[in-house]
Chains A and B, each alone.
Chain A
Amino acid sequence: MSEILIKNACVIDPLRGINAETMDIAIRDGRVVEEVSGAAEVIDAHGALTLPGGIDSHTHICGTKVNFGRYMSPEDMRAGRTPRRGPMHATSGYSVPTTYGNSYRYSAMGYTTLLEGAMAPLEARHTHEEFTYTPLQDTMANALFDGNWGIMEAIRDGDTKRVAAIIGWTLSAVKGFAVKLTNPGGTEAWQWGKNVSCIRDPVPYFEVTPAEIIRTVVEANELLHLPHSVHLHCNNLGTPGNYTCTLGSLGLIPDLNPKRQTLYATHVQFHAYGGSGWKDFCSKSEPIANFVNMRPQIVIDMGQVMFGRTTTMTADGPMEFNLHRLHHDKWSNHDVELETGSGIIPVVYRRKNLVNSVMWAIGLELALLTKSPWQCLLTTDNPNGAPFVRYPEIIALLMSKKYRDAEFATVHPDTSARAPLPAIERELDWYEIAVMTRAGQAKALGIQDLGKGYLGPGAEADVAVYPIHIDEVDPSTDYRKVIEAFGRTEYTIKRGRVVSRRGECLVDGSNATFWVKPKISDNYDMGKDPDFIEKFDRYYTVRMRNYPVQEEYVNRSRCIETEAEI
């Protein structure tokens, strides 16, 4: 039995409505409890800001394309090397660090749960292998279904239940957590070198539209009673004028689940562009945020861009090829049979560049214009908008108008004519930041029932103690202190163990992987469906029996069983 008592913590715990109360947190055997014995190890927080462990509901940290981002970029690896030290292994990389690099740096920032945003089912084993070497965070992965042949055929046949059945079988097989649609239909079109421009273009050969894919998969997701909603990367990413496409996509979504959103739209910054080309490119954060404000069934994440060098990587293969033609830097592409694809290119976001400056502004605007922090979560789509180590700066930008103005003075001078940011006065408070970085993320992922994102009895003891006293610091002026505090916790506690202290990791970790297994009736069991089996054998190059990810790969497996309606 291991016990810890964190005393004198200044707790913000939005899922329980607690806002800056000084209290003690008792931990036994990895869970928060009412009280502990006198033998418990005592950690005196001295009134420091104490939050549930950070949760990143959309990041790219493990898997085929992440690793290819490393593989093709020795220059990025050189940019972040640390030596082996104590239990810490050597790390490399800045925008795409090694698995240990990701894990240690996230832990230093108080993050204890990470969702890998895109996993090609055929290559899922790779993601799980890397999860094993991400020792200090619990992990989970979205499985990609955007160009899935079986699903597109079932949609063409109008068979939503079959769509659900294929999703259910695949998620269980590859130990995935949720459904991801990246440029639905576009990744299949890209395997012919084509794309779809928005939600009404038919996908070549399959003759279904992205709108049909989105709507049907959203319905199927609810038939399976999955903890998380569909995770959508809209069509037409990164193109001037794409906000209409984004609004069209969001407009398709009914309100189907009383507990959480029905759609999680990711990195919406990249989808909130106005103008008819790069010359009149401008922010359309306002119509998007207004729309989200009226639709409780939608949660978005920012996809904030920060200036500097990074690597972009997405399942949106055609988009990456277009970016490559724009930047003329190196380009990798990886199409995956019957399922999806991906692309990777390095980029530098520059303050001197008008488009980049507007992009930077849009992310912040989305967060400031969305009324409820539960509906707009803090991400950079790591590493696409920026590496996650920039989160503390983003927090400070959201909390301080003064900091925003100071930064705004350094960006391209025409930005003010293209983006409403300078006119926005709102400054987020500590509570709202806690929602956007943990409570809201837990709720959106549907993992609060598993003990994530709060600090009440029964919760998993994932805690971040930040070296800052919120009654002494005014974030709107002392934003440097905010950046520093969120950059390095005093303590990060993962499932009841102190894993990181002032940025030094202390143990080798014992992470768990969460995945879902919908219980589906025999009639809809794709493992027994003759048509499904026949197509699998004919068109995949891996045998059906060799496809599922074996339990051996799932570190401390946490299987979430759901009762499907099929």
Chain B
Amino acid sequence: MIVKDVVCPFCGCLCDDIEVDVAENRVVAVTNACELGTKKLMGEKRMKNPILRDGDTWKDITYDEAIRYTVDMLTHAERPLLYGWSGTHGEAQCVGVHMAELVRGVIDNTSSVCHGPSILAIQEVGHPGCTLGVVKNRADLVIYWGANPIDAHPRHLSRYTRYADGFFLENAFRDRKVIVMDVRKTETANIADEFVQIKPGGDYAVLSALRAIVRGKEDIVPRTVAGVTREQLIRVVDLCKAAKFGAVYFGLGLTMTRGKYKNVRNAIELVSELNRHTKFTISAMRGHYNVYGSNEVNTWMTGYPFGIDFSRGIAFYNPGETTAVDILARKECDAALIVGSDPAAHFPRSCLKHLADIPVVQLDPYPNATTAFCNVQIPVAVTGIDAEGTAYRMDGVPIRTRKVLSTSYPSDEEVLSRIYREMQEAQAV
């Protein structure tokens, strides 16, 4: 059976035109998705049931036992951390916020280690953006800055930019220019009309130089800036000003390099400046398929996109203090619930050391690096494969993922709702 218009649950592009061939309740073929998406939709070997660490080995337990363990762990913890949330659906994220509030815990999502700096920059200067379709239909200039979509968001180019024809661009490949700004010549750089190679750590200086040129102050720009010649910078500005609609997409190459959120702030201000000459927008290339959704959910429920601390009963937010890495590094938290992410693969060693010392429960369909640090792992349905739910694309467009298989795995929302209900009952006693 072919299921059409399936939503890919892998990256922030959230492509929703996938065709999945299902036979005997297994995905046997996937069309339209990129390699990353295909791999996810085809699935890997799944855990059969929850497991509990038992000395050096694991022992199988039931869902009831796993849920009871989690309820006990969270209700007895003084400063629990509820982390992850990017790889799950919005409905589960909502339950997560209620849980954190109830146990006066800290809830944080993976954006604190990816686009957290972008959010801080937006909180200072705002965010002139648009949906992906606006770019597809209008943009005659696209800039990728510190991002390599060919690797991380393979269909971004074909669905929205380089190869995507639109209403006002009948031949995108011919009529749309692509500029890549990066420290190394990536595969994406190879297909760009203009590649600007910046010396590592030089983004901020290059952005400042571009802003100066946009303002007509090109004579104060040195001959080279972070390895880029003034001529090339002027050429870039000329291309921007000549464009009818320009779009900047930036990735971790801008947010996680020297300057961090200041880089993003400078980029946003460059875009604001360009809006005085033509139309320009800027957007973050979000990684996980629903990392943006977890920012959205947290925001409407608590007022803040990530790193929220309920220990005082109110929602308190101070990134750098209330974010997962900091709380682990300071050895503050005494229990952790990990949902839809793999911190062990990304966090600094000092954090992992602490994670190994405290009880940890992970909700994830598959074993991953974090499994090694867990006391209990609860396998769940994969949103977009055997569970449905809401996800927010990188541009803020919410889409309901589809369920293509039926399995007996409970969804994240189901497991979390049970934990939440039992925690409420435990508290009422």
Contact = CB atoms under 8 A, between A and B. Distances in A.
Contacts of B131: 122, 334-337, 541
A332 B299 contact: no
A190 B128 CA distance: 12
Interface string B214-256: 0000000000000000000000000000001100000000000
A82 B131 CA distance: 34
B42 interface: no
Interface stretch (A64-72, A251-259, A372-380): A64-72
A100 B301 contact: yes
Contact of B279 (A97, A191, A345, A539): A191
A90 interface: yes
B129 A130 contact: no
A542 B399 contact: yes
Interface residues of B, number: 62
Contacts of A552: 400
Interface in B104-136: 119, 122-134, 136
Nearest to B313: A83
Contacts of A99: 300-301
Interface string B5-33: 10100000000110000000000000000
A565 to B, nearest CB: 31
Interface string B263-279: 00000000010011011
Nearest to A132: B94
Nearest to B392: A126
Nearest to B97: A89
Contacts of B396: 64, 68, 123, 126, 334
B98 interface: yes
Interface in A525-543: 538-543
A193 B398 contact: no
Most chain-B CB neighbours within 10 Å: which of A98, A99, A538, A541?
Answer: A541
B138 interface: yes
A70 to B, nearest CB: 5
Chain A interface residue bracket vs B = 35 or more
Contacts of A277: none
Nearest to B274: A193
B129 to A, nearest CB: 6
A81 interface: yes
A73 interface: yes
Nearest to A149: B167
A77 interface: yes
Contacts of B272: 324, 331
Given A129-B390, A546-B7, A90 B398 contact: no
A344 interface: yes
B288 to A, nearest CB: 18
A71 to B, nearest CB: 5
A431 interface: no
A258 B400 CA distance: 41
Contacts of B167: 149, 538-539
B301 A73 contact: no
Contacts of A16: none
Contact of B315 (A81, A335, A539): A81
B46 interface: no
A100 B300 CA distance: 8
A321 interface: yes
Nearest to A535: B167
B90 A89 contact: no
A545 interface: yes
Interface stretch (B50-58, B70-78, B303-311): B303-311
B203 interface: no
Nearest to B168: A205
B130 A336 contact: yes
Contact of B304 (A74, A333, A543): A74
Nearest to A126: B398
A132 to B, nearest CB: 8
A501 to B, nearest CB: 21
A72 B127 contact: yes
A77 B315 contact: yes
B245 to A, nearest CB: 7
A125 interface: yes
Nearest to B119: A71
Contact of A338 (B17, B133, B397): B133
B125 A330 contact: yes
B299 A71 contact: yes
A541 B160 contact: yes
A546 B400 contact: yes
A338 to B, nearest CB: 7
B366 interface: no
Contact of A546 (B276, B312, B399): B399
Contacts of A84: 101-102, 310, 313
27 contacts: A71-B123, A72-B126, A74-B123, A77-B304, A81-B303, A84-B313, A89-B98, A90-B313, A98-B302, A99-B301, A101-B303, A122-B397, A123-B396, A126-B392, A129-B90, A191-B134, A193-B279, A324-B126, A331-B272, A333-B129, A335-B130, A335-B131, A345-B126, A541-B132, A541-B133, A542-B397, A543-B17
Given A71-B299, A90-B310, 9 more contacts: A71-B295, A74-B304, A98-B300, A125-B390, A330-B126, A541-B132, A542-B399, A546-B5, A546-B16
Interface of B: 4-5, 7, 16-17, 90, 94, 98, 101-102, 119, 122-134, 136-138, 159-160, 166-168, 244-245, 272, 275-276, 278-279, 281, 295-296, 299-305, 310, 312-315, 317, 390, 392, 396-400
Interface of A: 62, 64, 67-68, 70-74, 77, 81-84, 89-93, 97-101, 122-123, 125-126, 129-130, 133, 149, 190-193, 205, 321, 324-325, 330-338, 341, 344-345, 538-543, 545-546, 550, 552
